[in-house]
Amino acid sequence: MAFQKAVKEQVKLRIALIGPSGGGKTYSALRFAKYLGGRVAVIDSERNSAALYADIFDFDVCPLEPKYSAEKYIEAIKDASGYDVLIIDSWSHAWSGEGGILDFVGDTTAASRSRNAYTEGWRKATPLHNRMVDTVLAFPGHVIVTMRTKTEYVMEENDRGKKVPRKIGLAPIQRDGIEYEFDIVADIDHEHTMSVTKTRLEALAEPNNVFRKPGKDFTNIVMEWSNSGVAVPKSIPVLQAEIKALEREVYVDDRGAPILDDRKTAREKHLGADGGQDVEKLTAYRNFLKAEVTVDRQTGEIPKAEATTGDSPRVWSRDDLLALYEERGAGLSTDDRSSCQYDMDHPEELTATGIEEWCEKLNALEVE
């Protein structure tokens, strides 16, 4: 077993954004992805709220519906392997959402003979959760995950010797200690101020860790760190996965059906007889496909993620209201916020007209 001199290698970023509803986590993630560059994929478990920004940002979306199982996240992450940036919005559903890890533990425990959560539920849930985390960290591009917050307490002994809870702040709704899996962890508040709380970047250490409505000022710093060091060539499986995803966009007809002859001809031209086992040829073909996708997007031939458009008025639903409030509720006045929360908590009193009024008001707000 030999030692060798350590060198800084170029890396893909792993960023976690943590904050309350209405703090702008989705918008900030999309904004960061835009400046990081390349093709962007969004795994959206927030009632397709990312599509509200499809008129501002260019991305493809995979809406997740309940149940939010770890397997479903793993499958979606693998399907996104051809993209340059992956946004998981939100990762909290994989933990506490319907069908998430906590539900998995409960269901597994209830179905066991011992009914012991530690010997049955968590024994099976922990490896599954670890596999999901490993899949996130193994993604070949940059990753940005958003997580909701919960109030964190510690148990302390008071002056009478009794154990009592004490509030110490906010923590992400995910497995304890998940923050340590990321290069950068940042909290975003209702004022859209981002504070970096954990980082491997010296340039983001205090007092340079606070950003008001972060954008290029933040991504310029992290990209400089990401691109510094020795370049690490991509492996053949990673390049093949990227090519497969790009081919699904380039070689399709107007109905979205694959054009197999065109794909076969392009592969033979760029990859030759070996079928694509040469890193240089694979890289060149991948770059060719990315250029084709860019041109097609500019000419409008490849559909982007779309928000509702057209001359006919939009019919707003309660789900629309919940999604809009999640991302833009912080922009309401204190009185409006309280009224809107009351209406959402009392759906039996919320009329279609009320939903429309709140949605129009929220949709008019700017989120930065």
pLDDT tier at 348 (50, 70, 90 boundaries)?
Answer: low
Starting at the edge strand found earlier in the chain, the sheet holding 210-212 runs 60-63, 40-44, 85-89, 142-147, 14-18, 184-188, 193-199, 210-212
Residue 300, C-beta contacts closer than 8 angstroms, at least 6 positions apart: none
Closest C-alpha to 292, from 274, 270, 312 = 270
pLDDT per position as a tens digit, 86-136: 999 989 999 999 999 999 999 999 988 888 888 888 988 999 999 999 899
Report yes or no on whether pTM surpasses 0.85.
no
**Confidence (pLDDT) at 298:** 52
Looking at the chain, the whole-number percentage of residues with pLDDT higher than 70 is: 88
Q: Is the bond preceding 338 in cis, omega lying within 30 degrees of 0?
A: no
Residue 238, C-beta contacts closer than 8 angstroms, at least 6 positions apart: 81, 140
Mean pLDDT, the chain, rounded, equals 83
Burial 72-96 (b: 16+ CB within 10 A, else e): bbbebbebbbbbbbbbbbbbbbbbe
Q: Which of 67-71, 329-333, 356-360 has the largest mean confidence?
A: 67-71
Strand partners, 355: none
Tell me how far CA of residue 126 lies from CA of 91, 104, 107, 274, in angstroms: 16, 10, 14, 41
Residue 167 has pLDDT above 70, yes or no: no
Domains in the chain, please, with CATH?
14-227 (3.40.50), 236-299 (no CATH), 318-363 (no CATH)
pLDDT per position as a tens digit, 258-317: 677 788 888 888 888 766 777 778 888 888 887 777 655 555 554 444 333 444 455 677
pLDDT tier at 366 (50, 70, 90 boundaries)?
Answer: low
